[in-house]
Structures are given as structure tokens and as C-alpha cells.
Amino acid sequence: MDEFKNLFQTGDWKTEKHVPIIEAPDEVKKGEFFRVTATIGKEVAHPNKTEHHISWIALYFHPQGEKFPYEIGKADFSAHGASTQGPDTSSVYTHHEVSLSFKTDKPGTIFASSLCNIHGLWQSSKKIKIK
């Protein structure tokens, strides 16, 4: 039986352009909002063309000791240069990056997932400690 989890790919974001990069503090204050940014292609640029683009990035937080993660945000990227005149004829392109703030009382792991319309699902994670 196929498993959904087996469809997610990962790699080193410094050499693989599809892996979401999570930027967040390593340690945060209990109950205080902090910023998380996830982007694609920080070191190796990912195309943003009609025929090859990142469709979305989703962020989740899995508190330590809890069974399930929480979805903390998702961004859909809809502008990839297409227009009524055809592919890559528009001057409008969305950059594949999302920033949000959230707070937690527990340490845990932030997960980021993304979808490339050609190369599928990708994931990464970052542990967060509480002060």
C-alpha cells in the first residue's frame, strides 16, 4: 500500500532548490509571538514560470509530547506569468515565500511542506526550544 508520507522528498536546501527553508529563532520566550519565514530557493534559485513553479508552502507546529501537529499557515502562489495571451506573457509573478507569527508554551518542531508542479512534494523541519 502506498503511503502519503513516502511522497515527500527532502534534501539540503543549500544544494536542492525545492526544499523549504525555515527561518525562525532556535529558542523563543514562552507565550510570546515570534516570526517564522519559509521560502524556496534561497541558495539555488527555483524557477517561477508557468511551466515550472512552486504552488504552495504550508507550515505546521508539532508541540513536544502531543500526538498531532497544528497547521499554523499556508500560502498559495497563483501568479506564475500566465495571462490570456499564454504562458509567461504576464508581468505578474508571486515569490514563493511566506512569513507569519505564532506563539507557543511548549517546545516542538516546525514543519514546512511545499509543492512543485513538476517535482512534487518537499519537506523540512526545525526544532524550537522554550526559554
Strand pairing class (20-23; 34-40): antiparallel
25 within 8 A of 101, measured Cβ to Cβ: no
pTM of the model: 0.91
Point out the catalytic residue in the list 14, 30, 52, 103: 52
Residue 9's beta-bridge partner residues?
A: 122
Tell me the three cell numbers of residue 18.
525545492
Residue 97's beta-bridge partner residues?
A: 39
Active site residue 96: no
Domain 4-130 indexed as CATH 1.10.1060.10 = no
pLDDT digits (tens, 9 = 90+) for 76-116: 999 999 999 999 999 999 999 999 999 999 999 999 999 99
Active site residue 80: no
Report d(CA 110, CA 70) in Å as an integer.
9
Active site residue 17: yes
